[in-house]
Amino acid sequence: MVRVVQFLFVTKTIWAVVLALLVGSILMLSAGANPLYAYASLFGGAFFDYYGFGATLVKFSPILLAGLAVAIPLRGGLFNVGAEGQIYMGALFCAVAALYLPEFYWPLHLLVCALAGALGGAFWAAIAGYLKAYRGINEVIVTLLLNYVGINIVSYAAGGPMMEEGAPYPYSPEIPSSLFLPHIMLPTDAHAGALVGVLLAVILAFVLKYTTFGFALTTVGSNPQAAKYAGIHVQRQMVVTMALGGALAGLGGAFEILGVKYRLFHMFSPGYGFDGIVVAFMAGANPILVPIAALFFSGLRSGAQFMQRASGVDSTVIDAIQGLVVIFVAASLAIRFGESRWGKLLAQRRALDDQLTPVEKKNA
């Protein structure tokens, strides 16, 4: 019995998502729609339709990298809620490198642009890491506020010094076609950034488990005092951890420029950075599970239009379901399993059954 209860606790995030979908089905019923048909259209379009799956992968890349950007600092005891701003700064740095550096051998130039995006995100996150480590300022507040600063800096750049002449909307000139990321599902916009994100998730899982850097990161996250006693430079580790998370989000912004938009747009992200927060918590900050959670979330986003066309359910229902996922996943995180507690309750129950058995036999 204890093992069953423990299994339910281990898979509590899955049950939280299932519960969110069940509540979402009630919303569909109230709108006069068949939830089974609506969900079949949603997930069928997102994962089993060629063009729909291509659209899912387009959203998968930034959501995955944003999820990793939150998960890695979370393992280090830091809450990075600034992935959205880091995505924007990564896109800005990438666009500057793509538009203003002289063109050279394209694979190297493409790599430089991607690294520039990672550098932009790392710089933006390192500000919060430094203020947390050396000034004791709460990183949640700093990263949250830096989101809006980063978004507005990009809006200024896209609508000001970098704006294409005569453009009807704030955006930069198009980057050279030699810098476009390779596509993996032609003719959709799915690009190689999705594969890079999965590869990075695997590498980060290995680093966290088998390297001294990973040991230092998790030790600081679990017990900063013990880490300091072990000789780990806690403040420097905090800054590096936040910068690493920001670099991942910045890379997501760079891939949006190199693989999808091909320009720097004003307000180009629909909230990928905030989706990354939910994805990281759904995955329990485990890099290996982040791609699975990101694929589910990106499927919700891309499948909404299929659901709306097939069943008539407004796509705003998906926004409600995403909110329900956030609520139920957050609630599940507050639940803890203590084997000793459950074992004690079950032992008491068995003792009570043993006491009642002779009485029942006597009455029989």
Which stretches of the chain are DSSP H helices?
Answer: 2-10, 12-30, 35-47, 50-75, 83-100, 106-135, 139-159, 193-210, 212-222, 224-229, 234-256, 272-282, 290-311, 316-333, 339-363
- Are the C-beta atoms of residues 87 and 256 closer than 8 Å to each other? yes
Beta bridge partners of 171: 265
Report DSSP letters for 193-252, one per residue: HHHHHHHHHHHHHHHHHHSHHHHHHHHHHH-HHHHHHTT--HHHHHHHHHHHHHHHHHHH
- With the C-alpha atoms ordered 274, 278, 281, 286, is the resulting torsion angle positive or negative? negative
Distance CA 312, CA 159 (A): 37
The angle subtended at Cα 307 by Cα 31 and Cα 277, nearest 5°, is 95
Distance CA 142, CA 165 (A): 35
Kindly list the domain boundaries of the chain, sorted by start residue: 57-286
Distance CA 74, CA 81 (A): 10
Amino acid (one-letter) located at 243: A
pTM of the model: 0.87
- Are the C-beta atoms of residues 306 and 42 closer than 8 Å to each other? yes
Per-residue pLDDT of the chain (364 residues; tens, 9 = 90+): 556 656 656 677 788 888 888 888 888 888 778 888 888 988 999 999 999 999 999 999 999 999 999 999 999 999 999 999 999 999 999 999 999 998 888 889 999 999 999 999 999 999 999 999 999 999 999 999 999 999 999 999 999 999 999 899 999 999 999 999 999 999 999 999 999 999 999 999 999 999 999 999 999 988 888 888 888 899 999 999 999 999 999 999 999 999 999 999 999 999 999 999 989 988 889 999 999 999 998 998 888 888 888 777 777 777 787 788 878 877 776 666 554 555 565 566 566 666 655 544 455 5
Distance CA 272, CA 83 (A): 8
Based on its alpha-carbon atoms, the radius of gyration of the chain, rounded to whole angstroms, reads 24
- Are the C-beta atoms of residues 235 and 228 closer than 8 Å to each other? no
